[in-house]
Amino acid sequence: MKILVVGSVAYDAVETPAGKRESQLGGAATYFSVAASYFTEVGMIGVVGDDFDPADIAMLESHDIDISGLIKADGKTFRWTGEYMEDINTAVTLDTQLNVFGSFEPELSDAHANAPYLFLANIDPNLQLKVLDAMANRPKMVANDTMNLWIDIAKPALSELISKVDALLINEEEAKQLTGEDHLPDAASAITGMGPSSTVIKRGEYGATLFGENFSFAAPAYPLERVVDPTGAGDSFAGGFMGYLASVDKVDQESLRTAAIVGSTMASFAVEDFGLDRTKNLTHSDIAERFEAFVDLTRFNPLT
């Protein structure tokens, strides 16, 4: 197993200007795993309830995702209700029900604990810390994501976690909330001061900016005519980003730059339809074609 991920596995109720879904498969770890599965071997750590649909298990298995760490517990699956009605770039959370995640204790097999890449997707930072602590060896790269709820209610654990990771992937608004800085480069340098050597600040339709060691890189978002459902864009970005790094097994500057474009490629598919409807049905040539479109989108000659 190349990448281990822990994070929410959810049923989401989502409303966007394109329509409404009452209960669609979602969760940060789910979007991440499906996106990363096109590049490398992924294993998930998480918990679902007894309401979890066997068809969703089958979909994860069809992507060769190792779900031996996805436990089934008595109770309901994590549930998030959100909308994007005012601003398509900003999720407004209407309700969060942790359900079976409230009492989840992660258990890692040897294969999980020896994964060389670890992604701590959005979930309670105390849980993210437990998984990091349970690794047999320090992975080659550890990255995490988070969101406003955890900044509000679990900031000490989140700060401890951020001090231990190599990369933080975070939304612009949340980066500002976390650091108290209003200006993007100031927020990024405050995050660097907390520990990570790389920070990816995600900005919805404006793309993502990677602040690395002595360099920064701007990845645009693909200019789609119609965004159907932005849910999971950030996690799909992370899945492409980490999936690519794990597949080349390098975390140098050039690889990080390419990874940011692979991340943008996967995020662009995520928003084209509700939930995982587009991302779960991709082919490798769909991905290669969209990646090439990014090369074209950002190609320019030097001044002579």
Task: Give contact residues for ligand AMP (rule: CB under 6 A).
Answer: 8, 10, 12, 26-28, 31, 80, 91, 96, 122-123, 147, 149, 231-235
- Plot region of 147 (φ>0 → left; ψ -120 to 50 → alpha; else → beta): beta
Q: Which residue is nearest to ligand AMP (CB)?
A: 26
> Could you tell me the smallest distance in angstroms from the CB atom of residue 51 to ligand AMP?
15
> Could you tell me the smallest distance in angstroms from the CB atom of residue 236 to ligand AMP?
7
> Could you tell me the smallest distance in angstroms from the CB atom of residue 210 to ligand AMP?
17
> Could you tell me the smallest distance in angstroms from the CB atom of residue 237 to ligand AMP?
8
Its sign, for the CA torsion 146, 150, 154, 155, is positive
Q: Which is nearer to ligand AMP, 23 or 189 (CB)?
A: 23
Q: Which is nearer to ligand AMP, 40 or 171 (CB)?
A: 171
Amino acid at 96: T
> Could you tell me the smallest distance in angstroms from the CB atom of residue 78 to ligand AMP?
7
Reduce the DSSP state of residue 241 to 3 states and report it: helix
Q: Which is nearer to ligand AMP, 26 or 207 (CB)?
A: 26
Q: Which is nearer to ligand AMP, 22 or 252 (CB)?
A: 22
Q: CB neighbours of 260 closer than 8 A, spacing ≥ 6?
A: 200, 208, 210, 217, 219, 241
CA angle 296, 300, 304 (to 5 degrees): 160
- Plot region of 47 (φ>0 → left; ψ -120 to 50 → alpha; else → beta): beta
CA atoms within 13 A on the CB side of 178: 35
Q: Which helix (H) or strand (E) holds 256?
A: helix 253-270
Q: For residues 258 and 240, what is the distance between their CA atoms, to the nearest angstrom?
A: 10
Q: For residues 41 and 270, what is the distance between their CA atoms, to the nearest angstrom?
A: 20
**Dihedral, CA atoms, 220, 293, 279, 273, nearest 10 degrees?**
70
Q: Which is nearer to ligand AMP, 102 or 296 (CB)?
A: 102
Q: Residues 188, 199: contact at Cβ < 8 Å?
A: yes
> Could you tell me the smallest distance in angstroms from the CB atom of residue 18 to ligand AMP?
15
Token representation of residue 163: 């001090």
Q: Which is nearer to ligand AMP, 92 or 218 (CB)?
A: 92
> Could you tell me the smallest distance in angstroms from the CB atom of residue 24 to ligand AMP?
8
> Could you tell me the smallest distance in angstroms from the CB atom of residue 39 to ligand AMP?
18
Q: Which is nearer to ligand AMP, 91 or 261 (CB)?
A: 91
Backbone angles phi, psi at 25, to 5 degrees: -60, 130
Reduce the DSSP state of residue 83 to 3 states and report it: strand
Q: Which is nearer to ligand AMP, 97 or 253 (CB)?
A: 97
Q: Residues 82, 44: contact at Cβ < 8 Å?
A: no
